[in-house]
Amino acid sequence: MARFTHPRLEDVPLDLALHALADPNRLEMVARLAAAERLRCSDAAPCEAIPKSTLSNHLKLLRAAGLIETTQAGREMINTLRRSEFDRRFPGLLDAVLASRPV
Amino acid sequence: MARFTHPRLEDVPLDLALHALADPNRLEMVARLAAAERLRCSDAAPCEAIPKSTLSNHLKLLRAAGLIETTQAGREMINTLRRSEFDRRFPGLLDAVLASRPV
DNA sequence: TCAAAGGTTCAATATTCCCGAACTATTAAA
DNA sequence: TTTAATAGTTCGGGAATATTGAACCTTTGA
């Protein structure tokens, strides 16, 4: 069914990538994905309180930034970090960001 | 006269730093400062077309993110990159960003 | 003393973001 | 096979942010 489109990393501008990371909620989501490999949308959520529509928008933005890939599995959407591709495009960036992230 | 206040780097949250960098104009300004050591505001401008007030706002944001220091010299404001401090606070971040910046 | 240079601040407009409500698609239950 | 529940997307309007022209401040050169 392929509902989502994922950009080629070479088409992702640096500012878009930085913008995607420049938000505490999205950063938390990226960190969770970095730790967990595969997560459903609701499990990638940065906290309980966040509304579904907001969560969906954050994930859309992370997709557009080339940070995550989303595939459908039944009625769930499974998200994974596009780690190696992202690292090839922006060497050291994600490591630096995740390393200086507050606990 | 000390018109500007500069944050201690440990008080700068990661998202603020990323947000400051997540803009093509500010990124260009940071790159110029990285190359030039000291620049007046107008010389740090990313292009000719940018209005003075916009430029001033960008510099204010860069200051708040701990990226630059501004001191008054006569009627000019001299900006410098707080490189070593920023690097200590966010190791590898600025290098990664500047390295994958488009020419 | 006055005018120009170099920037800042303010306020109005333009843009972007957030989130509730309505919707779609899939699966489990009756 | 309906029906209901689950999992998430999309849309639209209000809230928050960004941009920028106009007015202002400070310093220096004439």
User: Identity (one letter) of the amino acid at B50?
Assistant: I
Task: Give pLDDT tens digits for A52-84.
Answer: 999 999 999 999 999 999 999 999 999 999 999
pLDDT tens for each residue of B45-97: 999 899 999 999 999 999 999 999 999 999 999 999 999 999 999 999 999 99
Return d(Cα B37, Cα B88) in angstroms, integer: 18
| Nucleotide with the nearest C1' to B26 CA | D18
pLDDT at B19: 98
State how far Cα A6 lies from the chain centre: 12
Tell me the CB-side half-sphere exposure of residue A74, using CA atoms within 13 A: 2
Distance B8 CA to D7 C1' (A): 44
Residue A21 pLDDT more than 50?
A: yes
Of A23 and A37, the structure prediction assigns the larger pLDDT to A23
Is 0.85 surpassed by the pTM of this model? yes
Spell out which chain B residues touch chain A, with contact meaning CB-CB distance below 8 angstroms.
13-15, 18-19, 21-24, 27, 89-93, 95-97, 99-102
A100 touches B89 (CB < 8 A)? yes
State the average pLDDT over residues B4-11.
96
Check CB contact under 8 Å for B92 and A92: yes
Rg (CA), chain A: 13
The pLDDT mean for chain A works out to 96
Q: Which band of pLDDT confidence, cut at 50, 70 and 90, is reported for residue B3?
A: confident
Judged against a pLDDT cut of 90, whether residue A1 lies above it is answered with: no
CA atoms within 13 A on the CB side of B29: 33
- Indicate the pLDDT class of residue A102, thresholds 50, 70 and 90: confident
Phi, psi of B93 (to 5 degrees): -65, -50
Tokens of B97: 């960003």
- Band of pLDDT at residue A2, cut at 50, 70 and 90: low
Q: Give A71 to chain B, closest Cα distance, Å.
A: 28
Q: Which of A23, A24, A90 is facing B96, going by the closest CB pair?
A: A90
Orientation angle between helical segments A52-64 and A14-21, nearest 10 degrees: 150
